Amino acid sequence: MLPGDGGPVVDADADALAESAGVDLLGALEQCGATGAVGEATLLPLTVGGRPTPVFFVGVGEQRPVDLRRAGATLARAAKDHDSLATSIPAGAPDGSLEPFVVGMMLGSFVFHLRSDGPKQSPVARVVLTGFDDADDRAPELVRAVAVGGSGWLARTLATVPANLKSPAWLAEQASGLAAREGLEVTVWDEHELAKRGMGGLVAVGRASATPPRLVRLDYAPASAGRRTPTVVLVGKGITFDSGGLSIKPGESMSTMKRDMTGAGVVIAVLGALARVRCPVRVVGLVAAAENAVSGDSMRPGDVIRHYGGRTTEVTNTDAEGRLVLADAMAYAAADLKPAVIVDVATLTGAMKVALGQRVGGLFANDDALAEALLAAGQTSGEPLWRFPLVSDYEEKLSSKVADADNAAGGAGAITAALFLQHFAGDVPWAHLDIASVGDSPDERYEWTEGPTGFGTRVLLEWLSSDDPLAGVR
């Protein structure tokens, strides 16, 4: 349905439906107050071919990609608990509408439950896309759309699993299973290997937990990869539960901390979709997984830890642990993997949520071309980012009397956290996605479902599937 000056305008498919049902659809919709605005779904119970048939009319607004994505999500919610659904919406929309519509439908359908009697609502079991004269030509577009939507669904699922099930070892198992299914190489380092290799941040953060830390490496290479194919490294924060450690969080602040591994979930989900979106570069995903718990062997304020490569950090706040595990993984990437770019993803700072609310993610970068590429990908994919400055004047806040840096510099909290991480990227072009602002959705809103969001999969897949993700990057 399209918006009209005096009410809804019904498309040609709907005209055929009206003739079959013997109903004045336009008049019926006007009586229902339908306008064709995005987010609007009107149900008309019709009789088609002698059979009662519920028909949804969904507003598509101006038919921009964002409108089609939201229309897909609106339809998905309206059609829950139905066995099947046929829709002609993307066929009647402009070119390029299929992917956002399908992604919106998939993510708007997201459910997660551990109830003994099943979910309160179930997604529509089967969706048929009708009206395409060039269905065979659209098949690659549909494969890509399902890969993008499925990646978001997986990241959201991983972030929603409760922490009594989701240990660092469990997260490594999920990554290993995905690697086997998708033909990726996988390496897992346990706590002994981490200590042997000098990854002091992961060891220190994870040592208080009954479930020790892990570093997971996933490797993807395109079919056409050669010696000159560049490598992008994605690093995900994988804190499977964050109590705050000895600098313990208030109780109400812990309620969402099962999703403090969203960055790791995003990296795992993105690696699993790269082949289907035809990513042209090599990608290494690093998952730095640990539980920040409390015990007699907890990391203490005042401790000094040594990261991979030798840089040291004084711990003045054990609740600033995410940057400690990211630092090891980033230092390893910069020193050993010869990356063209490093991008880390993390629910890192509460300051980002204060700055941006819960609908936009934060971006820092030391390379303008990389920043612009990610900003554009965020706008196109429906996961918007806002760039923040790496203010060099704040470097003095990182100073420590006994180590190379303090892990809790305070002040402009999101910026000082990014400055802390920048040292571990070395001379490599680097971007930092602080998604603490969007780690949870406060309510149901189009493709966002209440709870953990898995934010980051779409923006990274949009960027990595472009013809030249590294264009202009120095």
Distance between CA 430 and CA 418 in Å, rounded?
11
Is 13 a residue whose pLDDT tops 70? no
Strand partners, 312: 306
Catalytic residue list:
249, 323
Amino acid, single-letter form, for residue 150 = G
Distance between CA 41 and CA 35 in Å, rounded?
10
What would the mean pLDDT of 203-215 be, rounded to a whole number? 98
What would the mean pLDDT of 261-267 be, rounded to a whole number? 98
User: Beta strands 214-220 and 282-292: pairing type?
Assistant: antiparallel
Q: Mind listing the pLDDT tens digit for each residue in 367-394?
A: 999 999 999 999 999 999 999 999 999 9
Kindly indicate the confidence band of residue 15, based on its pLDDT and cuts at 50, 70 and 90.
low
What would the mean pLDDT of 221-227 be, rounded to a whole number? 96
Token pair, residue 328, equals 């090891």
What's the whole-number average pLDDT of the chain? 94
Local structure of residue 368 (DSSP, 8 states) = H
- With a pLDDT cut of 70, the percent of the chain lying above it is 96
Nearest residue to 449 via CA among 67, 74, 56:
74
What would the mean pLDDT of 78-84 be, rounded to a whole number? 92
458 sits in which H/E element: helix 457-464
Local structure of residue 104 (DSSP, 8 states) = H
Token pair, residue 472, equals 């202009």
Token pair, residue 46, equals 């019709």
Q: Mind listing the pLDDT tens digit for each residue in 60-76?
A: 999 999 999 999 999 99
Is 7 a residue whose pLDDT tops 70? no
Nearest residue to 245 via CA among 289, 199, 298:
298
Q: Which single residue is written with the structure tokens 């040592």?
A: 207
- For residue 14, the model assigns a pLDDT of 66
Is 361 a residue whose pLDDT tops 60? yes
Starting at the edge strand found earlier in the chain, the sheet holding 405-406 runs: 304-306, 312-314, 405-406
Q: Mind listing the pLDDT tens digit for each residue in 129-178?
A: 998 988 888 999 999 999 999 999 999 999 999 999 999 999 999 999 99
Sorted by sequence, the CB contacts under 8 Å of residue 373 that are 6+ apart come out as 463, 466, 469, 471, 472, 473
- With a pLDDT cut of 90, the percent of the chain lying above it is 86
| Stated length of the chain | 474
Is 8 a residue whose pLDDT tops 90? no
Q: Three-state DSSP class for 245?
A: coil
- For residue 5, the model assigns a pLDDT of 37
Q: Which single residue is written with the structure tokens 């690696």?
A: 271
What would the mean pLDDT of 295-313 be, rounded to a whole number? 98
User: How far is the CA of 276 from the CAs of 102, 142, 143, 461, in angstroms?
Assistant: 15, 10, 7, 10
Distance between CA 344 and CA 430 in Å, rounded?
8
What would the mean pLDDT of 228-242 be, rounded to a whole number? 98
Kindly indicate the confidence band of residue 4, based on its pLDDT and cuts at 50, 70 and 90.
very low
- For residue 69, the model assigns a pLDDT of 98
Domains of the chain by start residue, with CATH? 2-133 (3.40.220.10), 161-464 (3.40.630.10)
